């Protein structure tokens, strides 16, 4: 008997290993950032300590080694490019062989590093040249940018390459473009030196934010991860929602929301929690596509939740000049409503399917869990406290790291070992590489917009369209709709930080200018939300693809269901565009409470309509009426709220009547 148990246990372990390998292989196919080169033995140790050295250098230039911005940023990019070629192979075939790195990757890594360090070391000389560049300067600029493109392909794939390449082509081919978008065109020398040597290109604001705020928060997230807080979030979510109807799916929503407070990636969230939650949902009766969709939608919502907002909060603060704390506060209500929608969707789906909660023996006890690992939350709480005390995001993150280390030492189970410290430093370096490359690439888009005046031209064309529409509501809705389409298309396969930077540069100013005149924060939140929604939107939807890799479902079907579950993601930006009070702009406590309550009721009504279940199954007219009630409740005004509540009340009364009518038949 014991031998049989041992055999079964061995089989279970083997199945888990096989599944993990399958997930890793599929993730490498759909998410290039997951396709990492494998090292072992001495090479692994060398790479590990090189990553640690990179983290220590980044810490130094953010604390004690104060350098000019150009030197700070170019040296940071030099290291980012260097590690991009050491860690990311050109294709999956090169990833099969352990400790294998082709000679050309070494050449790319060293050459790219030298190109950007060339500027860092010759910064003063180049500045004194007064924009007069030598032939060597030009060759270095072209070489550095080309290698950056190749490194970007390794990490993010073709979408961002195509976007940035198109902008550079626009700068060069302007004289061949008819109409108002045409311009005189710029010489190749002018384009590449402008993008390489000025703070309006590769080393612009985006990489400045990545090398300071984003790096600090990613290092903070790495330390939190090593304390075991991720598993604590999953366990506490199980304790809270495990017994409820559809408990596993509700657990996913709670866990992903908590993980989103320390992670800036929807794909990372999906993999981190989905490896446990998706198989659990499938085992308890959820369809594999639906299980993956719940995880993808919930994990994508993690990017909308303060304090990090997918790292976009720091970029938004830098671009708009709005204090970070204001941005974080403004994001709270939309984020809450987003998760309310998902929570309601999974509740109604579970009721419709008659699903139950998790088995009692699989649900951890909340009190022992809080006693054992609850203090780890002090790290997250402390960073919020430091931010609202007025410390910079970078300093807040560093102080929060110290708090996290201190509280981890309270109990042996959470105590950080020397190895965990080294792991956190290595993870911090690895995690920032993808974001850093994306920010450096997006900086070139900003540079082309500045160089060619494309932003003004694009804004003028959109404003001409807007001025041809007489009705204020239709005018704003039309421009918002076109902005939404542009954000979703651009977001297909492009990292969150890069797509936000591009949309904030090109489209957000249109929403701010007259005659639209949206508040700056509203405009930037609008494009950020829809850029984030692209992670679950077909045909790409990286978070949906990641979830389907775990669930073994259809990527397309998972994306479609994720859109349905997270319907609020496509509605909320319009709500706060027409009702800025939702972002705490020019409002008071009463208005905030009213907006939150009516918004919650409206979102739940829409979730019920899309699921087809409220108190019981809904007919077509009930679903249409519920959608109408939800939309009307989202419109500001007492009259619209009363209409929405009346319609919803009528639906509930009708459903209760249906239930009473069906009871005798059932008996």
- Quote the tokens at residue 118: 């060339």
Give residue limits of the domains in the chain.
Answer: 1-30, 209-587, 588-667
Per-position b or e across 334-343, b if 16+ CB within 10 A of its CB: bbbbbbbbbb
Q: Which single residue is written with the structure tokens 């719940």? A: 294
Instruction: Determine the 3-state secondary structure of 660 from DSSP.
Output: helix
Q: Give the pLDDT confidence of 604-622 residue by residue, as tens digits.
A: 999 999 889 898 888 899 9
- Quote the tokens at residue 478: 């039309």
Q: Which single residue is written with the structure tokens 């309601």? A: 344
Q: Give the pLDDT confidence of 14-53 residue by residue, as tens digits.
A: 344 435 555 555 555 555 556 788 888 899 999 999 999 9
Instruction: Determine the 3-state secondary structure of 613 from DSSP.
Output: strand
Q: Are 655 and 616 in contact (CB under 8 A)?
A: yes
Cα–Cα distance between 214 and 264 in angstroms, integer? 9
What's the DSSP call for residue 617? B
Q: Are 293 and 562 in contact (CB under 8 A)?
A: yes
On the question of pLDDT at 114 being above 90, the answer is yes
Q: Which residues are registered as beta bridge partners of 613? A: 617
Residue 307 preceded by cis peptide, ω within 30: yes
Distances (CA, A) of 250 to 88, 257, 348: 36, 11, 11
What's the DSSP call for residue 129? T
- Quote the tokens at residue 387: 């931010």
Cα–Cα distance between 587 and 582 in angstroms, integer? 9
Q: Which helix (H) or strand (E) holds 435?
A: helix 418-452
On the question of pLDDT at 400 being above 70, the answer is yes
Q: Give the pLDDT confidence of 420-450 residue by residue, as tens digits.
A: 899 999 998 998 898 889 889 988 988 998 8
**pLDDT winner (highest mean) among 79-83, 101-105, 327-331:** 79-83
On the question of pLDDT at 661 being above 50, the answer is yes
Q: Are 27 and 34 in contact (CB under 8 A)?
A: yes
The total number of residues shown for the chain amounts to 667
Cα–Cα distance between 576 and 525 in angstroms, integer? 9
Averaged pLDDT, 220-232: 82
Q: Who's near 619: CB < 8 A, 6+ residues apart?
A: none
Residue 9: pLDDT band (50, 70, 90) is very low
Distances (CA, A) of 477 to 225, 466, 523: 42, 10, 13
Question: What pLDDT shows up at residue 31?
Answer: 55
Cα–Cα distance between 376 and 302 in angstroms, integer? 19
Question: What pLDDT shows up at residue 179?
Answer: 79
Residue 359: pLDDT band (50, 70, 90) is confident
Averaged pLDDT, 85-113: 84
Q: What string of DSSP letters covers 199-246? A: TTTTTSHHHHHIIIIIHHHHHHHHHHHHHTHHHHHHHHHHHHHTTSTT
- Quote the tokens at residue 447: 């540079």
- Quote the tokens at residue 106: 């070494």
Cα–Cα distance between 343 and 604 in angstroms, integer? 9
Query: Mean pLDDT across the chain, nearest whole number?
Result: 82
Q: Are 508 and 524 in contact (CB under 8 A)?
A: yes
On the question of pLDDT at 291 being above 90, the answer is no
On the question of pLDDT at 5 being above 50, the answer is no
Cα–Cα distance between 567 and 605 in angstroms, integer? 11
Residue 388: CB atoms within 10 A of its CB come to: 14
Question: What pLDDT shows up at residue 328?
Answer: 85
Question: What pLDDT shows up at residue 496?
Answer: 75
Between 538 and 585, the more confident residue is 585
Residue 170: pLDDT band (50, 70, 90) is very high
Cα–Cα distance between 202 and 218 in angstroms, integer? 21
- Quote the tokens at residue 363: 């649900």
On the question of pLDDT at 456 being above 60, the answer is yes
On the question of pLDDT at 126 being above 50, the answer is yes
Between 307 and 650, the more confident residue is 650
Question: What pLDDT shows up at residue 301?
Answer: 81
Residue 666: pLDDT band (50, 70, 90) is very low
Question: What pLDDT shows up at residue 200?
Answer: 87
What ranges in 247-392 are assigned the alpha helix state H?
247-260, 266-283, 288-301, 312-320, 324-330, 332-353, 366-373, 377-388
Q: Would you report the helix, strand and coil content of the chain in percent, each value rounded to 5?
A: 80, 0, 20
Q: Who's near 37: CB < 8 A, 6+ residues apart?
A: 86, 87, 88, 89, 94, 95, 100, 101
Q: Are 288 and 246 in contact (CB under 8 A)?
A: no
**Percent of the chain whose pLDDT exceeds 90:** 21
Residue 196: pLDDT band (50, 70, 90) is very high
Between 332 and 664, the more confident residue is 332
Cα–Cα distance between 129 and 183 in angstroms, integer? 27
On the question of pLDDT at 10 being above 50, the answer is no
pTM metric for this prediction: 0.80
Question: What pLDDT shows up at residue 645?
Answer: 92
């Amino acid at each position: 008997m014991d031998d049989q148990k041992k055999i079964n246990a061995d089989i279970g372990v083997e199945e888990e290993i096989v599944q993990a390998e399958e997930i890793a292989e599929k993730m490498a196919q759909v998410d290039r950032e997951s396709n990492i080169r494998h090292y072992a033995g001495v090479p692994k140790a060398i790479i590990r300590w090189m990553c640690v050295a990179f983290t220590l250098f980044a810490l130094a230039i953010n604390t004690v080694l104060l350098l000019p911005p150009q030197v700070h940023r170019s040296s940071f990019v030099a290291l980012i490019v260097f590690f991009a070629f050491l860690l990311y192979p050109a294709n999956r075939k090169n990833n099969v062989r352990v400790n294998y790195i082709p000679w050309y990757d070494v050449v790319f890594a060293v050459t790219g590093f030298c190109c950007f360090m060339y500027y860092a070391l010759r910064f003063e000389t180049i500045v004194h040249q007064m924009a007069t560049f030598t032939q060597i300067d030009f060759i270095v600029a072209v070489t550095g940018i080309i290698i950056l493109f190749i490194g970007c392909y390794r990490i993010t794939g073709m979408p961002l390459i195509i976007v940035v390449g198109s902008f550079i082509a626009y700068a060069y081919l302007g004289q061949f473009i008819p109409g108002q978008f045409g311009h005189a065109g710029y010489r190749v020398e002018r384009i590449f030196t402008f993008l390489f040597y000025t703070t309006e290109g590769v080393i612009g604001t985006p990489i400045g934010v990545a090398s300071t705020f984003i790096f600090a928060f990613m290092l903070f997230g790495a330390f939190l991860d090593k304390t075991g807080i991720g598993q604590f979030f999953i366990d506490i979510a199980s304790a809270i929602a495990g017994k409820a109807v559809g408990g596993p799916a509700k657990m996913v929503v709670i866990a992903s929301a908590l993980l989103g407070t320390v992670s800036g990636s929807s794909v990372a969230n999906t993999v981190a929690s989905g490896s446990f939650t998706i198989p659990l949902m499938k085992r308890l009766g959820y369809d594999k596509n639906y299980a993956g969709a719940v995880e993808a939608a919930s994990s994508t919502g993690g990017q909308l939740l303060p304090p990090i907002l997918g790292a976009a909060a720091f970029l938004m603060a830098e671009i708009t000049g709005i204090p970070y704390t204001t941005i974080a506060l403004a994001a709270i209500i939309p984020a809450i409503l987003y998760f309310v929608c998902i929570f309601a969707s999974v509740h109604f789906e579970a009721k419709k399917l008659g699903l139950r909660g998790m088995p009692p023996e699989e649900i951890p006890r909340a009190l022992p869990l809080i006693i054992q690992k609850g203090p780890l939350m002090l790290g997250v709480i402390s960073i919020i406290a430091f931010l609202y005390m007025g410390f910079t995001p970078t300093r807040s993150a560093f102080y929060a790291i110290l708090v996290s280390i201190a509280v981890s030492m309270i109990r042996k189970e959470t105590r950080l070992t020397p190895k965990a410290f080294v792991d956190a430093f290595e993870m911090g370096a690895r995690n920032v590489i993808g974001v850093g490359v994306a920010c450096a690439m997006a900086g070139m888009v900003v540079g082309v917009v500045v160089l060619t005046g494309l932003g003004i031209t694009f804004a003028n064309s959109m404003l001409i369209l807007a001025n041809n529409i007489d009705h204020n509501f239709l005018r704003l809705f039309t421009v918002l709709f076109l902005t939404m389409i542009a954000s979703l298309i651009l977001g297909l396969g492009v990292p969150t930080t890069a797509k936000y930077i591009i949309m904030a540069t090109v489209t957000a100013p249109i929403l701010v200018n007259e005659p639209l005149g949206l508040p700056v924060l509203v405009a930037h939140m609008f494009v950020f939300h829809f850029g984030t929604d692209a992670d679950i939107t077909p045909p790409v939807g990286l978070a949906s693809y990641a979830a389907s890799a775990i669930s073994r479902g259809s990527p397309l079907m998972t994306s479609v269901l994720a859109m349905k579950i997270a319907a609020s993601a496509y509605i909320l930006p319009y709500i706060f565009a027409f009702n800025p009070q939702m972002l705490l702009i020019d409002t008071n406590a009463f208005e905030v409470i009213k907006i939150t309550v009516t918004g919650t009721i409206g979102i739940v009504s829409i979730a019920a309509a899309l699921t087809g279940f409220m108190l019981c199954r809904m007919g077509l007219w009930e679903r249409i009426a519920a959608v109408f009630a939800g939309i009307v409740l989202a419109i500001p005004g007492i009259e619209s709220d009363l209409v929405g509540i009346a319609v919803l009340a009528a639906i509930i009364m009708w459903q209760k009547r249906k239930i009473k009518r069906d009871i005798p038949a059932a008996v």
